[in-house]
Structure 1
Amino acid sequence: MATNQSLKTQLANKNGQAPSTQGSTMKGLLASPSVIKRFEEVLGKRATQFTASILSLYNNEKMLQKAEPMSVISSAMIAATLDLPVDKNLGYAWIVPYGGKAQFQLGYKGYIQLALRTGQYRYINVTPIHEGELIKWNPLTEEIDIDFEQRESEAVIGYAAYFELLNGFRKTVYWTREQVEKHRKKFSKSDFGWKNDWDAMAMKTVLKSLLSKWGILSVEMQKAVIEDNEDRELKDITPEEDDNTIEYEVQEEQTEEPAKESKSKKSKKESAQNTMDMKFD
């Protein structure tokens, strides 16, 4: 059975070129008609700009280049379905490497954006609390007294998140920095985001806890909470007839071919192996 690498080499030799690198593989995948079509179905005319941002992110992140290219595209597709940019500087959504694969992570600005789209929130915010600013906090009554003018240093001691709905329901939470760190060690799969922007990840953690427990969640927000940091099965979406596209699989398993196998079963098996659909549920 030919491996992905041998197929890639054969294709390169056929075209009189050297085997492509992982970076050019990503560029080739994004240029594939099937991938372009998928993004156009979701984003319309903005698909070209979005795929360009994926390639830019990939080329500028050395750690991300170690991840499976198809996992990067799969994660980016989740952001596309939520209509959120993947530019890490914007803070709406991130694509982070973990265990050789890329994973989708929703940023705190992404949570705020999705909440505002529901049309149910009058106020929603999350902010770091610096040393000297917190006067008192009662976790039972949720009474919090903050004086931002009393800041004693730039050291962050905690994070507060708050929302008020149009019907008057309101909720406040406050986490100390130690609480956030404990949560990170227990639940975080990758330190990539935390190393790049600890405060942004901390605010996302506190806001996510607030909204997932007490907020009004639209279907879109429910999907975002589920997708955030979830392991995903990767599926090839490049068509077999696309001669300029390289098939990219997550893992290769060598199985012994059965001694006897009917033509109908073999046909079904080959059809399943050549499935081109990408699913995100």
Structure 2
Amino acid sequence: MTNTVNQNGAIAKARNSQVSTKREQPTSIKGWLKTYQGEIARALPAQIGPERFNRICMTALTANPKLGECTPASFIGAVMNSAQLGLEPNTPLGQAYLIPFKNKGVMEVQFQVGYKGLIELARRSGEISMIKAQEVHENDDFSYELGLNPTIHHVPAKGNRGAIIAYYAFYKTKSGDFDFEVAYKDEIEAHAKKHSMAYSKGWTSPWSTNFDQMAKKTLVKRVLKYAPMATERALQIESDTTIKRFDPTESDAMSDLSLVADSTVIEAEYEETPTDPTTGEVIENA
């Protein structure tokens, strides 16, 4: 009997020791940032200092209190995603955004690559020599042809260029290859209504406050899908508009966030949490 009790006691002691080595989870998002700053630092590329990146994330929390109401797992997942891409979130650079979003009753953080972030990722591939997006006005000299010998011609009008009628994005590789995407304004309008609930309902969103930038981003995303970039860059573009829930018990998540399950939601588009202008309520992804 004594031997049995001693054996059970030894087993219980070993289990208690194992539990005690687990990292205690903080109670606030700022606490999570501090706790996992080592993992975040290891995910960052050399050109971005961990102290600067941490300050940027802290500033984002201060600037948008709604981020503090989100689940810590989704916030750290978005931060890790931004870190691994080497893009600074929620800064005037416009590279990437941490967006508070009400997803089926739960406030979570949606990570989104910005217009300038897409261009930065393309340039880093080492294959792209030029990439741009432009607006076309009604008085501009603009034409394009598709087929075996695609061409695009655009000479902006001098003086009054008139209203914007179209947008296009193009890239050129170091070897001389190129491609472009063109969309007229009504096509972009249809895209915005289909993918942004806020815009389709007439609520305030970046599609309503910064339509031209969002249109350019849409065209850049389209054209980059055909660019001869590495597979990882294509995956990074596809990681746009996703929620990744960071699980600290999964060691693989520390080194490769592509292994973390994500949940794609409708385009919230960054500016602030989309709200109903009548009631002030946060728009929910039902």
Structure 1 CA distance for aligned equivalents of residues 74 and 84 of structure 2:
15
SS of 2:213's partner is: helix
Structure 1 residues 96 and 189: alpha-carbon distance in aligned structure 2, compared to 1, 3 A threshold: farther
Partner residue, 1:91? 94
Q: Which residue of 1 aligns with 2:183?
A: 175
AA in 1 matched with 2:75: V
Distance change in 2, residues 1:177/1:82 (3 Å): same
Q: Which residue of 1 aligns with 2:38?
A: 37
* 3-state SS in 1 of match to 2:28: helix
Q: Secondary structure at the match of 1:94?
A: strand
- Counterpart contact for 2:128–2:171, Cα < 8 Å: yes
RMSD between aligned residues: 2.7
Counterpart in 2 of 1:16? Answer: none
The 8 Å contact of residues 70 and 108 in structure 2, kept in 1 or not, is answered as: yes
State the partner residue of 2:166. 158
Residues 1:112 and 2:115 aligned together: no
Matched, 1:229 2:241: yes
Question: Do the aligned residues in 1 keep the contact of 2:90 with 2:98 (CA within 8 Å)?
Answer: no
Gaps of 5+ in 2: 1-25, 200-204, 259-286
Q: State the Cα distance separating 1:139 from its structure 2 match.
A: 4.6
Q: Does 1:77 align with 2:80?
A: yes
* Alpha-carbon separation, structure 2, partners of 1:89 and 1:229: 19
Give the 3-state SS of the residue equivalent to 2:160 in structure 1.
coil
Map of 2:207 onto structure 1 = 194
Q: Give the C-alpha shift of residue 46 in structure 1.
A: 1.3
Q: Choose from 65, 70, 82 the match for 1:67.
A: 70
In structure 2, how many angstroms separate the alpha carbons of the residues matched to 1:165 and 1:91? 24
Give 3-state SS (helix, strand or coil) of 2:187's partner. helix
Partner SS for 1:185: helix
Read off the aligned partner of 1:162 and give its amino acid letter: F
Structure 1 residues 138 and 150: CA distance shift in structure 2, 3 A:
farther
Considering fraction of residues, name the structure with more strand. Answer: 2
Please report how far the alpha carbon of residue 189 of structure 1 lies from its aligned counterpart in structure 2 after TM superposition: 6.4
Contact 1:235-1:277 at 8 Å conserved across structures: no
| Secondary structure, aligned partner of 1:149 | coil
2 CA distance for matches of 1:27 and 1:41? 18
The alpha-carbon deviation at position 196 of structure 1 amounts to: 5.4
CA apart distance, 1:56: 0.8
- Residue 217 of structure 1 is matched in structure 2 by 229
The AA in structure 1 aligned to 2:229 is L
Is 2:213 the counterpart of 1:205? no
What SS class does the counterpart of residue 167 from structure 2 fall into? strand
Aligned residue for 2:108? 101
CA contact (8 A) 1:71 1:101 kept: yes
C-alpha deviation, 1:235, in angstroms = 3.5
CA–CA separation in structure 1 for the residues paired with 2:251 and 2:209:
33
Q: For structure 1, list consecutive stretches of 5 or more residues without a partner in the other structure.
A: 1-19, 238-274
1:228 to partner: Cα distance: 0.9
8 A Cα contact 2:56 2:91, kept in partner: no
| CA deviation after TM superposition for structure 1 residue 62, in Å | 4.2
Q: Is structure 2 residue 49 aligned with structure 1 residue 46?
A: yes
User: What is the deviation of 1:94?
Assistant: 1.4
Counterpart selection for 1:55 from 47, 53, 58: 58
What is the number of equivalent residue pairs in this alignment?
218
Tell whether the 8 Å contact from 1:133 to 1:152 is kept in structure 2 after alignment.
no
CA distance in 2, matches of 1:130, 1:68: 44
User: What is the CA distance between 1:142 and its match in structure 2?
Assistant: 3.9
- TM-score, normalised to structure 1's length? 0.68
Q: Following TM superposition, by how much is the alpha carbon of 1:229 offset from its aligned partner in structure 2, in angstroms?
A: 1.1
Counterpart amino acid of residue 209 in structure 1 = R
Secondary structure in structure 1 of the residue aligned to 2:142: strand
Residue in 1 that maps onto 2:274:
none
Shift of residue 224, structure 1, vs aligned partner: 0.9
**Separation (CA, whole Å) in 2 of partners of 1:176 and 1:83:** 32
Report how far residue 146 of structure 1 moved: 1.9
Q: Which residue of 2 aligns with 1:185?
A: 193
Q: Per the alignment, do residues 94 and 156 of structure 1 end up closer, same or farther by CA in structure 2, a change over 3 Å counting?
A: farther
